[in-house]
Structures are given as C-alpha cells and as structure tokens.
Amino acid sequence: MRLTILGCYSATPRTMTNPSAQVLEMRGHLFLIDCGEGTQVELRRNKIKFSRINHIFISHLHGDHFFGLPGLVSTFRLLGRENPLHIHGPKGIKEAITLLLKLGDSWTNYPLHFHELTSKDPETLLKLPELEVSTLPLDHRIYTNGFLFKEKPKERSLDVEAARARGIDRAYFRKLKQGLNVPDREGKEVDHREVTLDPPPTKSYAYCSDTAYMEALIPQIKGVDVLYHESTFLKSEEHLCEPTKHSSARQAASIAKAAEVNHLILGHYSTRYKSLELFQEEASEYFGQTHLAEDGKVFDF
Amino acid sequence: MRLTILGCYSATPRTMTNPSAQVLEMRGHLFLIDCGEGTQVELRRNKIKFSRINHIFISHLHGDHFFGLPGLVSTFRLLGRENPLHIHGPKGIKEAITLLLKLGDSWTNYPLHFHELTSKDPETLLKLPELEVSTLPLDHRIYTNGFLFKEKPKERSLDVEAARARGIDRAYFRKLKQGLNVPDREGKEVDHREVTLDPPPTKSYAYCSDTAYMEALIPQIKGVDVLYHESTFLKSEEHLCEPTKHSSARQAASIAKAAEVNHLILGHYSTRYKSLELFQEEASEYFGQTHLAEDGKVFDF
C-alpha cells in the first residue's frame, strides 16, 4: 500500500503548497483522492502514470478539493485515453464537469462515468475482487465524504508438498486456499490449517478531509492501518474549528487514538503556521504514530 | 507598458510549462488576459498584487485559457477582496463560474460582474480616461476573441515659462495642453504648438490567441506597438493549422508584417518541439522584430 501526497494544504494553491490531492496504490490499483487545482502537474512531477488512474474520489465541492478535475478530465482526452474513467463525488459534480466540457466543445473520447453521492450514511462505492471502497460521511460546511479503502483477505498460502504428503488430491487445493477443510484419500477430513499458512494481513486506509471533530467516525474507522485526518489548525486556534468545520491536530490525534488505528497522517494545514513540526508535536502528545503529510511525500505501509 | 507572461504553452499544464495567462500593465492598470490552470500560483510567483487586478479578459472557453479562473475568483474572496471584479468572456462563462461557486456554497463577498461576449464584430469592452479595450474576433474552433488595448493620447506638455513669456493667461493653460489655440493678452491667437510639446506616443497591445491565420485581422491591428500572436506550430506542421484552427510561426510573422506592427511576440507553443528557438528563427525570416514569450518573462515597451 503506497500513498503519494500531491497536495496537503488548505485553501488556495501557492508557489510552495498545493491543495488537497493524493494517490493511493492498493493491490495494483491507483486511486486519485481529491483533485485541487494543479493536481495534473503534481501527477507528472511525481511520475504517476495517468493511464493507471481509473477511479477518482472527490470528498466535497470546495475548490481546493476539485478545481483541478476539469483540467485533468480534459488532459486525459488529449492523451488519447480510451479506458473508462469513474468519478465518485457529491451530487452536482456531473453538471459542473459536463458544463465545462460543453462550453469548450471538448467532449471526452473515452467513457466518463459519474457516481454522484447524496447519502448521509456510509455506502459502498466500489467492489473489486481485491478491495472495497466505501464512504465515510463527514461533518463539514457542505456535503462531504471521506473514503475508506479496505483490502479483502488474500488466499491462504498452500504448502503443496505438505498437502501431497498428507494425501490430498490437487482438486482440493483451491478449497484449502479458501480456508476450507477437505478430505484426504481415505475420506478423512483434513484441517486446512495443517497445510496452509495465514494470508498476509489486509491493509486499510481512511481518508478524512475536511471535517470537524466527529466522534461518530470512530467506529467506522476502527483499527484501520492508516488514517489521514485533516488538521487545519492547532489547538491554539481550536475556536476556529466549529465555525469553519475543521479540526485541530489534537482532535485528529484523539480520533486516531480512540479508533485504535496504526498510523495517523496529518494534513490540510492552514498556511498561517510557520512550521509543520508544530502539528507533529501537538498530535504526538495524544497519539504516538503520527506522521506529517507533505507535498510530494510517499508513504509505504 | 509592461507585459508579464505567466504561461504561454498550448494544451495541458506541465511541470515546466504553463497554459495561457498574462498580465498587461498599461497606464497604471493591471489586466489579466486568459487564465489557464495554475494562473493564481504564477501571479504569486511573479509577485503581482492580486488586488490590483480589476478586469479579466478571457479569449475563449477551452480549458487551457480559463480553468484557472474558478480558483482565482475563490482566492480573491479568501484574500478579503472588496473591490468589484469584472470578467469579460464568451457567453457561458457566467453560468460556469456561478455554478462552481454555488456547488461550493462559496459566493464571493465582493461584486462580481460578468460581461458576456457574443458578437462576431469588434466591440469596445472598456473605456477609461487613459485607455480603451476592444475585441478582435478570431478564427478558432469555438467562439474566440483577441483583445486590443489602446492608450488614449496623453495631454501635450506645456512649457509654462514660454507660455507666460508669450503673454498667455494661466486660465488658458488647460486648453493648450489639450491642443487648442488660445488668445494672448492682446487677443491675438497663439498656436498651441509654439508653447507645448507633443505628448509621448501612445502605446497599444493586441492579444491574438487562439486563431488560425486570419487576414481580416490585419486592418484591426494595423500599426500596433506589440502584437502577441499565437504560433502553436512551425510551418513544417502547417497542415495541422486548418483542422485545429491554429497558426504557425511563419503565419504569425506574416500577419505582423502585413499589419506593420512594431514588435511581434510569439506564444501558445505546442510542446512537441524541443526548442523555442525554432519559432524565433522561422518567424524572423518574415518579420525582424520577433520576440519569444516564455513563462515568467517580462517585456517592457
């Protein structure tokens, strides 16, 4: 599981800071999450192949999370894309993108599918053999979802020699890998655990931006490997969190701790602060495994 | 007159090349012309004060000329802008920008005025005491205008000592500066040229992008000081000009020569070419005073 941060700052793009966008690689799939202005340039800078992106997830329709999308959709066309592109985002996103394409008389020559979201309850957006993606409804000024990416368990690894020695016909190997008990040559049941090993543990990633402190999130992200939680402010500016519906680093860390996640990544920083270290210090008081998102940073988990 | 090139490449933004956007400073006014994705970052990089921009001119609604506009309009709000902003561009631009603001529930707190263009004939968009801006209808795949910025003549400079010596009452000084003849103390008419000097010559700037080779443009831009004319291709790819409605460097130079402009600036280059020098060489064969636009380059005329 690899996470590439393309942008992790709030509000407007600046010369040294990009608005929200990141690429999650999971089981060979590349997912683009949010798409602030300049995302297509950051994809190039980070040498991410455009053609590998088939699903884009947009949390909400504030400009710093989706004003890069019209340009990216257009660029896919110029690059000769043929594969379908799926865009998952709040209702309205289809009207916006299609209007912009219509005004430029620039229809895509590849299939463009919009999956518009309106539900305030979690829903599954994508089911693949290897993983699932579902929404995490968040508490922001406008309708907003985070996204939960969960690998499905891989098959158990079979010790072929051991299985043969135990007298199991190869016709049963597939069932063993699926964790089922099978008969040996004499028809006696063999516990699959005798000849298989547990699959590697599954990974999961939760993207939560933008949101106010929200305890209802905790059970939904319980035990995920990696939580990206926005921390626009420090606790010294926590009075700004309620009116703007953002979180502080302290609040992000409290959520991470209560949800017993393995790693917390902070991001969506206000540019009012001189140093990101302040976010790390504050969050680490409450949750040890805290990491800082930075534009261009790659996390391998 | 100062022209700052923020971006001068065609198609998509890349790590080293920005799409169309430029700032013209004329008689103390700053005009933003086109606004490709990333323009607000380039404004910052070039240290141009956002608050000095009150008029934005958009040539056409292809993404590489206006996908930076929604973000810029939003950033003006975040910066606390209060002055009205005027956006001049093709019909549809108002619907696009207002839809994006509506989706983000991010109305501007400053007055935003759209001046939508539909005419295929030249029209005056802005009349200020010091200058005028009018359209240059162009020949592109969708409705497109160039823009002509023309200073109005300044007043003549008065030699106050000479005027007094010639026996002219100071009540007449204003008329002299305006180029009118006035009476001396004895009532005898004085030729204003005896006591005034010609004002500095007026400057003019024509922005022509995107367009196919278009001879009808020549009389409209006759004798301008500076012509920015797109040259997406070289003459070796001139067969692509007609289907895409773009121009070659040779064609841009032919227009400059026929219109007897003082300076030609080339831009809107296709990124297929390895070196911009090829554009300069080709155009210079036909027109001597050829300059190359480059991102971040500043021209003082």
For B204-263, what is each residue's pLDDT tens digit?
A: 999 999 999 999 999 999 999 999 999 999 999 999 999 999 999 999 999 999 999 999
Average pLDDT, chain A: 97
- What's the whole-number mean pLDDT along residues A55-79? 97
Of B210, B84, B101, nearest to A67 (Cα)?
A: B101
Q: Are residues B289 and B246 in the same domain?
A: yes
CATH code at position A25 = 3.60.15.10
In whole angstroms, what is the distance from residue B200 CA to residue A52 CA? 59
Asked if A75 and B12 come within 8 Å (Cβ–Cβ), the reply is yes
In whole angstroms, what is the distance from residue B176 CA to residue B169 CA? 11
Q: How confident is the model at residue B90 (pLDDT cuts 50, 70, 90)?
A: very high
In whole angstroms, what is the distance from residue B116 CA to residue B94 CA? 7
In whole angstroms, what is the distance from residue A247 CA to residue A232 CA? 6
Average pLDDT, chain B: 97
Asked if residues B155 and B177 have their Cβ atoms less than 8 Å apart, the reply is yes
Q: Are residues A169 and A52 in the same domain?
A: no
Residue A50 CB-density burial (10 A; 0-12 exposed, 13-18 middle, 19+ buried) = middle
Task: Give me A50's structure tokens.
Answer: 């455009």
Selected residue of A6, A12, A295 to mutate for chain B interface (largest B Cβ count, 10 A): A12
Helix (H), strand (E), coil (C) string for chain B: CEEEEEECECCCCCCCCCECEEEEEECCEEEEEEECCCHHHHHHHCCCCHHHEEEEECCCCCHHHHCCHHHHHHHHHHCCCCCCEEEEEECCHHHHHHHHHHHCCCCCCCCEEEEEECCCCCCEEEECCCEEEEEEECCCCCCCEEEEEEECCCCCEECHHHHHHCCCCHHHHHHHHCCCCEECCCCCEECHHHCEECCCCCCEEEEECCCCCCCCHHHHCCCCCEEEEECCECHHHHHHHHHHCCCEHHHHHHHHHHCCCCEEEEECECCCCCCCHHHHHHHHCCCCCEEECCCCCEEEC
Q: Are residues A209 and A117 in the same domain?
A: yes
State the pairing for strand pair B21-26/B2-7: antiparallel
- The SS3 assignment for A278 reads helix
A95 and chain B in contact, CB less than 8 A: yes
pLDDT at B5 > cutoff 90? yes
Task: Give me A166's structure tokens.
Answer: 């135990």
pLDDT score at B19: 98
pLDDT at A118 > cutoff 90? yes
| Residue B268 annotated as lining a ligand binding site | yes
Number of Cβ atoms within 10 Å of the Cβ of B37: 34
- What's the whole-number mean pLDDT along residues B86-94? 98
- What's the whole-number mean pLDDT along residues B188-208? 95
B70 and chain A in contact, CB less than 8 A: yes
Asked if A99 and B104 come within 8 Å (Cβ–Cβ), the reply is no
Residues within 8 A of A (CB atoms), B 19-38 only: 37-38
Asked if B106 and A41 come within 8 Å (Cβ–Cβ), the reply is no
Domain boundary among A136, A166, A197: A197
Residues in chain B: 301
pLDDT score at A279: 98
Residue of B nearest to A19 (CA): B71
pLDDT at B80 > cutoff 90? yes
pLDDT in tens, A6-50: 999 999 999 999 999 999 999 999 999 999 999 999 999 999 999
Q: Are residues B264 and B142 in the same domain?
A: yes
Residues within 8 A of A (CB atoms), B 257-296 only: none
Residue B59 CB-density burial (10 A; 0-12 exposed, 13-18 middle, 19+ buried) = buried
Residue B52 CB-density burial (10 A; 0-12 exposed, 13-18 middle, 19+ buried) = middle
Q: Are residues A75 and A189 in the same domain?
A: no
A118 and chain B in contact, CB less than 8 A: no
In whole angstroms, what is the distance from residue A40 CA to residue B12 CA? 9
Asked if residues A116 and A94 have their Cβ atoms less than 8 Å apart, the reply is yes
Per CB-CB distance under 8 Å, the chain B contacts of A90 are: 103
Which residue is it, tokens 């302290």? Answer: A250
Residue of B nearest to A15 (CA): B41
Q: Are residues B176 and B77 in the same domain?
A: no
Nearest to A61 among B37, B61, B103 (CB): B103
Domain boundary among A176, A197, A218: A197
- What's the whole-number mean pLDDT along residues B70-94? 97
A67 and chain B in contact, CB less than 8 A: yes
> Based on the structure, what is the number of domains in chain B?
2
Asked if A96 and B95 come within 8 Å (Cβ–Cβ), the reply is no
Q: Are residues B254 and B117 in the same domain?
A: yes
Q: Are residues A136 and A209 in the same domain?
A: yes
Q: Which domain holds residue A191?
A: 157-197
Q: Which residues of A participate in catalysis according to the annotation?
A: 64
pLDDT at B191 > cutoff 90? yes
- The SS3 assignment for A143 reads coil
Nearest to A67 among B60, B70, B90 (CB): B70
Q: Are residues A130 and A167 in the same domain?
A: no
Domain boundary among B141, B174, B197: B197
| Residue A184 annotated as lining a ligand binding site | no
In whole angstroms, what is the distance from residue B134 CA to residue B147 CA? 6
B89 and chain A in contact, CB less than 8 A: no
Of B222, B249, B59, nearest to B146 (Cα)?
A: B59
Q: Are residues A217 and A91 in the same domain?
A: yes
pLDDT score at A200: 87
Asked if B14 and A105 come within 8 Å (Cβ–Cβ), the reply is no
| Residue B291 annotated as lining a ligand binding site | no
Asked if A74 and B96 come within 8 Å (Cβ–Cβ), the reply is no
Q: Are residues A125 and A184 in the same domain?
A: no
Helix (H) or strand (E) holding A258: helix A249-258
pLDDT score at B93: 98
Asked if residues B5 and B293 have their Cβ atoms less than 8 Å apart, the reply is yes
Asked if A40 and B12 come within 8 Å (Cβ–Cβ), the reply is yes
In whole angstroms, what is the distance from residue B40 CA to residue B76 CA? 10
Asked if B37 and A71 come within 8 Å (Cβ–Cβ), the reply is yes
Q: Are residues A191 and A262 in the same domain?
A: no
A113 and chain B in contact, CB less than 8 A: no
pLDDT at A72 > cutoff 90? yes
* pLDDT more than 90, % of chain B: 98
